[in-house]
Amino acid sequence: MNETQVAEQTQIREKNGKKTENPLGVAPVNSLLVKFALPSIVAMLVGALYNIVDQIFIGNYVGELGNAATNIAFPLSPLCTATSLFFGIGGAAAFNLSMGAGKKDVAPRFVGNAAATAILIGIAISVGTEIFLEKLLLLFGSSEKILPYALDYTRITAGGFPFLIISVTGGHLIRADGKPLVAMLCNLTGAIVNTVLDAAFVIGCGWGMKGAALATVIAQVLSATIAVFHLFHFRTVRLSFSDFVPRVPCVTRIMNLGMSQGFNQIAMMLVQIVSNNTLKHYGALSVYGVEIPIAVVGIGIKLSQLYFSVCIGLSHALQPLASFNYGARNYKRTREAFKKARAVGSVFSVLAFLVFFIFPTQIISLFGKGSSPLYTQFAIKYMRIYLFCTFLNNIQPLTSTFFSAIGKPKIGLFLALTRQILFLLPLLLILPCFWGIEGMLFTGCIADFLAFIVSVFLGRREFSRKEYKTSLA
């Protein structure tokens, strides 16, 4: 991305005898953040709503075991998202870099290769899941009581994986073509259809887990259809069928550019698997049993997705601003963009923290009341302890994206993995050994705090460099 913005800066066009400046370098930072953030936030919120809506209908009309089953199946979701980001963000970046360099004949190959490879991997994930479904769900931490519900749900949703992956991948590629509203419409249409069909299938038809899963897949097919249609109607270039034939150099380039975001999702998947098994083992040793902790944490993950949609959306908005101005050596404006994105994210993070901390009972009741008072008791503890450092959580993704945007992807990748791999995973393995299920509750807030400290340290070190200080003089 940063190379694209540098190319835009250096290729100032002559129009009617006057120089035309790129708005990224001159327009008000506030308005640019809003312009870039809103479509991304809406797209990510819509994606999170797929899971939230399913969880609400399942929790209220299937029950606690249904909630637990969606959490058991959840590790497959970040696997699909990782594929989408590897090829969606990577393909979009490769396309924009080629267009910025004037290689209009090469650029379409990256779009076609990204879409085709994403679909092929989606089919492979779908088939592999269907073949090894029961073994996978047991690996993900399912108990005997949860397993039938998880099987009913995942057996159907696995069929929609290729459509989910191409709809998300296609959204990123369509945005790269300069059509963010089309990408947003693609996601929004699917979310609305999913909500309507959830009500029809789960409540009207009484199909339970299978109904919620079927509603999700139908919505994903619709979103994928819209995305594929627009892939064949690109505005900036014309795609031919030969562009969709995978080429190793193209695919390698795409995956390298999408590496940071893709590996972050893989890390989430690994942490989720360890978390589920920790909850299963130590839950069985506690008064809560196996099913209550798994069900509650599943709800918490969906809520966190909703909150992080705003944080990630702000990060996406910061990326082009930071890239362009850093490449143009406008360090004052680069710093200003980071500080304003951080300020907006911090306000939202504090609001989210207050909601989680003050209204845990009301929030958990949206997803069903559970089978006993212990369900509500554990849910309140989870939201007030595990999610305690929510007010700090926006700093890590924002700082990670900032470093990638200014051409320091190694630091960006390191920061992207700090919370999940460096801190949360070891804590999940260590703390419950001493304090059981209660120890697990403290892993989230500790990991969030440590990731915040590392992000602040690296951010301050970056902004203490000479060029930033000189720009403020």
What's the pTM value of the predicted model, to 2 decimals?
Answer: 0.82
Please answer whether residues 184 and 242 qualify as being in contact, where contact means their C-beta atoms are separated by less than 8 angstroms: no
pLDDT value of residue 370:
66
Secondary structure (3-state) at 366: coil
Which position has the higher pLDDT, 261 or 243?
243
Which band of pLDDT confidence, cut at 50, 70 and 90, is reported for residue 358?
very high
**Is the pLDDT at 146 greater than 60, yes or no?**
yes
Mean of pLDDT values over 318-345: 84
Dist CA 319 CA 354 (whole Å) = 28
Dist CA 321 CA 140 (whole Å) = 40
**Backbone φ, ψ for residue 20 (5° rounding):** -105, 115
Please answer whether residues 22 and 328 qualify as being in contact, where contact means their C-beta atoms are separated by less than 8 angstroms: no
**Is the pLDDT at 350 greater than 50, yes or no?**
yes
**Is the pLDDT at 324 greater than 90, yes or no?**
no
Dist CA 344 CA 329 (whole Å) = 24
Q: Which amino acid is at 199?
A: A
Mean of pLDDT values over 425-447: 94
Which band of pLDDT confidence, cut at 50, 70 and 90, is reported for residue 221?
very high
pLDDT value of residue 371:
65
pLDDT value of residue 315:
84
DSSP 386: I
Which position has the higher pLDDT, 412 or 184?
412
Q: Which amino acid is at 122?
A: G
pLDDT value of residue 173:
87
Dist CA 268 CA 164 (whole Å) = 18
Task: Give the list of residues 6+ apart from residue 410 with CB closer than 8 angstroms, or none.
Answer: none
Residue (of 205, 76, 45) closest to 140 by Cα position: 76
Secondary structure (3-state) at 170: helix
pLDDT digit string, tens, across residues 75-98: 998 899 899 988 988 888 778 777
DSSP 244: G
Please answer whether residues 1 and 319 qualify as being in contact, where contact means their C-beta atoms are separated by less than 8 angstroms: yes
Q: Which long-range contacts (CB under 8 A, 24 or more apart) does 377-381 make?
A: 378/288, 378/292, 378/293, 378/296, 379/296, 379/299, 381/441
Mean of pLDDT values over 322-336: 82
Mean of pLDDT values over 213-242: 88
pLDDT value of residue 316:
76
**Is the pLDDT at 440 greater than 90, yes or no?**
yes
Please answer whether residues 406 and 468 qualify as being in contact, where contact means their C-beta atoms are separated by less than 8 angstroms: no
